[in-house]
Amino acid sequence: MANRPIFIATSKTDKLFEEVGIEFKFFNGFSISQKAKSINSLHESAKKEQYNNILEVSTKSDNKLGWGLSAFNLMVDFENEQKISLECAFQGSKVFDNNVQYKDIYSLQSIQAKKDLRLKNSGNIIGFNYLNIFWENEPKTSFYDWLYINTLYKNYPDIIDALMKFDVFTDIEFNPKKSINCQARTCAILVSLKRLDLLDEAMKSKKSFLEIVYPKKYIQKSLF
């Protein structure tokens, strides 16, 4: 048995997602068939807890929408009208101690970007710099969430409409003990913003995004 979080969209301005741990039977192995078994098991266990309309968001999703929403597959705007994967955009934007940034990662394939050893051997991440806009480390997932949501908001309104049919999002590859950012959580936040009619306002600026998506954390941080 394993325990993984599911992320539920809400209609609460002060809490744009709910995270619930679900116990399910995990099938070991890296094959697509084993991953599919684990996803089905997770979703069936969630349904028993009365969570429905579930979308797996990862490269292992059997839903075309969920597959396309993977950070490996979702394409974001870059310089000179280029498009790169969200994974490359995120990893290449990391800024380490002494303002070290590996911009060549932008031009890699998604899997190469994620596994680049320099990302693990360069010290502390002090923030993110994407297209000359700097994002601080706090709130912890703010840059990832903004990059993901902004990409869909600007370029894929039809995908946002499709997402509105779902209430719960999962990512079988996400382990909260090993990472922080999660595309399934970000999808839940996006759906909540849309339901609350706050998406347009949130995407007006970096400041608006921080104040609307992370009101408590952002306000607390500003006091010090």
Amino acid 139 reads: P
> In the 8-state DSSP scheme, what is residue 139?
S
Average pLDDT over residues 104-129: 97
pLDDT in tens, 57-109: 999 999 999 999 999 999 999 999 999 999 999 999 999 999 999 999 999 99
Q: Phi, psi (5° rounding) for residue 187?
A: -65, -40
pLDDT in tens, 8-66: 999 999 999 999 999 999 999 888 899 999 999 999 999 999 999 999 999 999 999 99
pTM over 0.75: yes
The residues, ordered by sequence, that sit 6+ positions from 10 with a Cβ below 8 Å of its Cβ are: 16, 17, 18, 188, 192
**Of 131, 119, 91, nearest in space to 107 by CA:** 91
Is the pLDDT at 220 greater than 50, yes or no? Answer: no
Beta bridge partners of 128: 94, 135
Evaluate whether 114 touches 125 at the Cβ level (below 8 Å): no
What pLDDT is stored for residue 30 in this prediction? Answer: 81
Average pLDDT value for the chain: 95
